[in-house]
Structure 1
Amino acid sequence: MTDMNNATREVFGNIAPWMRVVFFTMIAASIAVLVWQIVARALLWRKGQRGGFERDWRVWSQRLVAYALAQKRVHRKSLGAFLHLLLFSGFVVLTIGTTLLAIAYDGPYYFHHGLYYLIYELTMDVFGVAFIIGCLLAMYRRAFHRPASLGHNSRDWWLLGLLLSLGVTGFLVEALRMHYTQVQPDVAHWSIVGWLIEVTLLRGIDVRSAQTMHLTAWWLHAILVAALFATIPVNRFLHVITGPLNIASRPERPMGTLVPLKMEEVEQTGRTGVHELADFNRQQLLSLDSCMECGRCEDACPATATGKPLSPKAVVIDLRNLMSLGGEDVHRTIHDETLWACTMCQACVQECPVLIGHVDLISDMRRDLIGEGKLSGPPAKALQQIGSQSNPYGRSNAERLAWAEGLDVPTAESNPSFEYLLWVGCAASFDPRAQKVARATVQLLKDSGVNFAVLGKEETCTGDPARRIGDEFLFQQRACTNVETLTRRKVKKIVTPCPHCYNTLKNEYPQFGGHYEVQHHSTLLAELIDAGRLGNGTSNGEPITLHDPCYLARVNGEVDATRAVIGATNDAQYHEMPRCGKKTFCCGAGGGRMWFEEAPSQRVSILRSQEAIATGARTLATACPFCLNMMTDGMAGTQGGENVKVLDIAELLLSRQTPQ
């Protein structure tokens, strides 16, 4: 019986000493080529502005575990995700296994024997098979089922062929080694794939011939390994290096927060945004090289879906090509209409497996366009009106409380001891349709006995539209003014029916000293229902669905409160849309697009309305004044939409209250 404790194998069996020298020299040379090319890319990144990197090692480690090792954003029910899991796990395990073998060979203690060796052989074979299957599936997908959004070029076939050849030759080397060394069956069975090849294909080959074939296969495998190292920087495999670097280094901040411009830097440099590639920071330039062109961002983009001239993937790739070619002016590569098409819904950012900040790239280039005066029409007028009238609608601030006529709404002046400040927002203050949301919210707060107040004429635009469009100076002016007002009124808690105001007050005002406990009205209403201070009776029996606002669900992660308010859990007539919760689909109003003109065929709200109608719903609930308007217009322009009512959750909840 075989002594399993002595089970092992030679690391360089059948390889002459001089061949080992040649092998190590070849591998060292290929790694040198790899390092040289990576350094060349790093020098391109260094042309950017200093900074931009996350410096907290705890953030690095958490992200690398979640997004690099656990592949958090790759998991989904698709062929692409499955084959990537096979490729990734196979490559990682085979790389670790090869490294352990090298340590055992050159280290002070040879541990490659006994039970460890047997488990090692089985593990390497299992993951080697996974790696080969992943390669074959990737080839099949690219040949027969390649999504339009998936990047593809001739080098992809070279890479997949190289990886497949590495897997196949690895097993061939194993089988030939087992044949000429005549490994005992009890040990051979642990190298299951090599053993199967050996007993089915190599039985008739003599030992000398097997040694010659082994040497040939070993050198072929070694040359393929060297070729892989040397060509990593010029093919899609580069993301194996740059992907984890970007995952670790992207600065940690809430998804809905843009980086503020520092006025002193603007005065020194004259830059208000990114005009030349070197105006991006170094981390952003690194992020361009981390893209593997998987197309997830493009698949999620509402602008791409409606035929607008924007693909988040193309923006990254075009900027990367510009960097590689030594170009400077980003606007010669990325056209103005491409930048204006973005709704800044953050879907691309949420989908990216390596955490590329597409929205940051677009925002920085938009700021330059604003600085150059390259915005005209309704959006330019909206910015002008924010500056002159403190709201994008161009209405006098004296009309801020017109929506509250007859409701006896308390103000911060009349009720200085308020607990909650109701931040109404510009839409609910001036837009006739959204004003109904403000009235419904106030009635619910009054009915539930909430101690609240509004600022009235003291409230001005948060500046969110200005910041998203690219006018950072105007945003900061509004932010500083509002922070002063909120400080003077000693505001601690804020509730608002607008997700955009909510995001700005919660995530961006802290940049200017404004720290508050901010809630969206859905959260407070859900708390009041849970406390029994508001009723949530049964619906009218009609089918209902919910459109999650991007800046509430995706950006700030709030999906439960909206459903609690409309009683979704206990309503058999409630139907979710396919894209819901944090994976919601944009209405088309974000990023300042509310004030842009667009052809009916390119309206995002039409696509979203079609999705809502397909659920069979007769009521579409939402929780954002912009979504309310866009979806109302979308339903009006969609067949079957005339049968669907679009309501804010506050309006819906108010209609279910039992009269006192």
Structure 2
Amino acid sequence: MAPTLPLQAGDTITRETFWGISHTGEVVFYYLAFVTIVVFAWGVYDRFARYSEGTEDWFERLDDLPGRISRAAKVVGSNEKQFNRDLVGGIMHSFILWGFLTLLIGTTIIAIDIDIFRNVTQLLTGERQSFFVGDFYLSYSLVMDFMGLLFVVGVGIAIYRRYVSQKERLRGPHSSREDDFLVWSLFLLGVGGYVQEGLRILGTADVTASGVQFIEFEKVSFVGWFVADVMNAVGMTPGMAEAAYPVMWWSHALLAFVFIAAIPYAKPFHMISSFANVVTADEKAGKRLPGIPADLDHTNAESIEDFTWKELLDQDACTKCGRCSSVCPANASGRDLNPRDVILDLKAYREDLDAGGDEKPIIADGSGGVIKAQTMESCMACMACMDACPVEIEHLSSFTRLNRQLADQGDIPPSLQDVFQNVMQKDNTFGDANRTRGDWTEDLEFEVTDARETEVDYLWYVGDYPSFDDRNKQVARSLAKIFQHADVDVGILYEDEVYDANDIRRVGEEFLFLEQAGTLVETFEECEFSKIVCTDPHSYNTFKNEYPEVDFEEYADDPMMPFELTERWNADESIEVLHWTQVVEELTNSGALGLRGNELDYTVTYHDPCHLGRFNDEYEAPRELVRATGCDLHEMPRNRANSYCCGGGGGGLWIDQEEDEKPSEERLREALEDTEAGSAVEKFVVACPMCMTMYEDGRKTGGFEDDIEIVDIAELIVEALETGGKISAGATSEDDGDAAAPADD
């Protein structure tokens, strides 16, 4: 019997766990629970066993496992990546996650009390005892009701976003009934729990002359109390509630069993795979790419078995949330790329094969493969997808594998073939004689030191575009003038400098990347310097994050490789690699440039280059330099890690694309319409040669030539120095002609 009101001496503050359920019902319940656990455990084992069929990953992902688990717990528990660009989504997921975990913990506590604690105490003392009483019970009930309510609210928001507002990024070709099953089963579990609680509170109430009186201490279960009140108000009696309770209890239990058993076989599995994915993540993923073994039998993506176990885990970890697709500049500009769908297409193909489906090419030039070649050609390697992904899927690793397969098959655009040929024959992407690489220095009033002949503090890697592209030569001369003014001991390699190969690696030409890297490293080792400074963020990322990972010794005996290196380069990071903005920021802060901060009065906005910002987290140095000139800097809505790619990365500079609007045009429109200063913005400031080229092109094709000027930060600094009388004007050539246009001009 339920306790009467008021409580008599000796009455216990608790509730009966299997209230209204027969002994036979309890036996059936435990049998079904056992079956559910077996089905769940086997499913999880089978999913993880499938990963072992993938190839070995190049990167050790289980080292420092306690540290990895701790980091993953922080990332997942805080929902920090869920809040990125989507406050409502972050709140929704936090409510669901923590509500679900609390309800799971609460159920586990009851199981411990019933199945362990009571039996142990009976064995030890001869009397079954319970800790599910008194203050513990009251605290438990309050917490469970509160967190359960947040859970229901969170799932309700999810239902609203999916079915009412129909948020676009949640829909796609891989939307299916499993999405509906996840969200509605969770909702019914949450709401059903409160209905069950309300029936119990009403069913255990006393009927007095003054009406129905609930057990007073059950008020702590405030949601269940409210539900019981509503039931009572619409005419349900305690007897009716008592009769309905077992039906509701079994409905709730059976739905919970079905949900748990289905976890390994449907979308709910992401609750496990996503956490595992964060645990095994590479914090430098995308910034560095896996190499190709020297093994002649190696294949890149001829079959699904070529993918590593981590890439298979990536596929299972995808929650279909569409965050990656919503920030992808290729997708936004109408190109044939949806990052989420590439990952899910690979997963669907793998599952089809496991079910006995037919094999087909992983990637093909046309519609015959799992992924179309055009899809991968659309990728700009900007890493926005990876930055937005809440479960740290490493899209770029899989995308690069697909690009390498295209290169192996010869399915690459003619424009890319021309670039590869230029690099192989001329050591640069322009196809110009490499002996002219240093000719840009001839218009300077001073000589730039030859680092091959003289020891220097900074070895300046100028790069292809500042060396050969007329518009970017102006930037190189401006930077040289800054170094000269600040008396920086810097030198360049002249014709011995070769292309760093960052972008051709990202379009799949790994062996050409290795040739260029080995050649360049051998040149580095013949020079004496302390640090490397780069004009181009692409070079900066490659030297900092990729060259140290290359095992040159593995290829040293290959007659096709033009180098004889026998060890890794800069593996101990003894040589510091810097972008020029970082070097010049130090000079500015030390007073070496002599800027007062009021030389210029332009209204400007700044574009974060992907390889400097998102890849390497350098956001402040460029901004400090812009402000140091006196310019009024206004941020664009998409800035820092949320910056929108110019469209030039990942080979985009060299590939013709059919697109609704070039990324560069969209970015310039954003600068003039969406910044706080709006059309008052006079200059669009960049810190990357590729960005310079793409935005000069977008300024023409988008009709912005009369509205805004594209300038590099180095050019602003030189103008500020000239305005302040620190250096004389005229050291930079003014008649270099038009900038070299990219392939899609």
Q: TM-score, normalised by structure 2?
A: 0.84
Moved more, 195-204 or 368-377: 195-204
Q: Which residue does 2:389 correspond to in 1?
A: 352
2:471 is the counterpart of 1:433: yes
Distance 2:284 2:696 in 1: 33
Distance 2:131 2:692 in 1: 67
Number of equivalenced pairs = 654
Percent of pairs identical after alignment? Answer: 31
Q: Which residue does 2:317 correspond to in 1?
A: 290
User: 1:113-141, CA deviations, whole angstroms, 9 ceiling, x for partnerless residues?
Assistant: 22222121111111111111222222222
Q: Where does the alignment leave 5 or more consecutive residues of structure 1 unmatched?
A: none
| 3-state SS of paired residue (1:111) | coil
- The answer to whether the 8 Å contact 1:345/1:550 transfers is yes
Moved more, 151-160 or 376-385: 151-160
- The answer to whether the 8 Å contact 2:200/2:245 transfers is yes
1:252 Cα deviation after fit: 4.2
AA aligned to 2:654 is W
Within the candidate set 223, 229, 232, 1:199 is matched to 229
Q: Which residue does 2:198 correspond to in 1?
A: 175
User: 1:479-510, CA deviations, whole angstroms, 9 ceiling, x for partnerless residues?
Assistant: 11111211221333011110000000000111
Structure 1 segment 116-515 matched on structure 2, within 5 A: 116-151=136-171, 152-182=175-205, 185-202=215-232, 205-263=236-294, 266-267=295-296, 269-271=297-299, 273-326=300-353, 327=359, 329-331=361-363, 332-405=369-442, 406=444, 407-416=446-455, 418-512=456-550, 513-515=568-570
AA aligned to 1:111 is F
Q: Where does the alignment leave 5 or more consecutive residues of structure 2 unmatched?
A: 1-5, 119-129, 206-212, 354-358, 364-368, 551-567, 727-745
Q: Which residue does 1:636 correspond to in 2?
A: 700
1:536 Cα deviation after fit: 5.2
Distance 1:618 1:643 in 2: 7
| 3-state SS of paired residue (2:650) | coil
User: 1:2-60, CA deviations, whole angstroms, 9 ceiling, x for partnerless residues?
Assistant: 68995222222322222111112112222333333334433433321133561121442
| 3-state SS of paired residue (2:226) | helix
| 3-state SS of paired residue (2:577) | strand
1:337 Cα deviation after fit: 0.8
Distance 1:569 1:200 in 2: 68
Please tell me whether Structure 1 or Structure 2 has the larger radius of gyration of its CA atoms: 2
| 3-state SS of paired residue (1:48) | coil
Structure 1 segment 9-48 matched on structure 2, within 5 A: 9-48=15-54
Moved more, 138-147 or 495-504: 138-147
Distance 1:569 1:529 in 2: 10
Distance 1:547 1:509 in 2: 27
| 3-state SS of paired residue (2:282) | coil
Q: Which residue does 1:99 correspond to in 2?
A: 108
| 3-state SS of paired residue (2:605) | strand
Distance 2:204 2:379 in 1: 64
| 3-state SS of paired residue (1:105) | helix
- The answer to whether the 8 Å contact 1:295/1:313 transfers is yes
AA aligned to 2:61 is E
User: 1:451-486, CA deviations, whole angstroms, 9 ceiling, x for partnerless residues?
Assistant: 111111221111212211111111111111111211
AA aligned to 2:225 is W
Q: TM-score, normalised by structure 1?
A: 0.95
AA aligned to 1:410 is T
| 3-state SS of paired residue (2:432) | coil
Moved more, 546-555 or 65-74: 65-74
RMSD over equivalenced CA pairs, Å: 2.2
Q: Which residue does 1:55 correspond to in 2?
A: 62
Q: Which residue does 2:580 correspond to in 1?
A: 521
- The answer to whether the 8 Å contact 2:521/2:569 transfers is yes
2:711 is the counterpart of 1:647: yes
Distance 2:194 2:376 in 1: 50
- The answer to whether the 8 Å contact 1:389/1:397 transfers is yes
Distance 2:596 2:312 in 1: 51
Cα 1:314–1:433 change in 2 (3 A) is same
1:436 Cα deviation after fit: 1.0
1:410 Cα deviation after fit: 0.7
AA aligned to 2:279 is A
| 3-state SS of paired residue (1:81) | helix
AA aligned to 2:403 is R
User: 1:124-164, CA deviations, whole angstroms, 9 ceiling, x for partnerless residues?
Assistant: 11111111122222222222212222133333333322222
1:644 Cα deviation after fit: 0.8
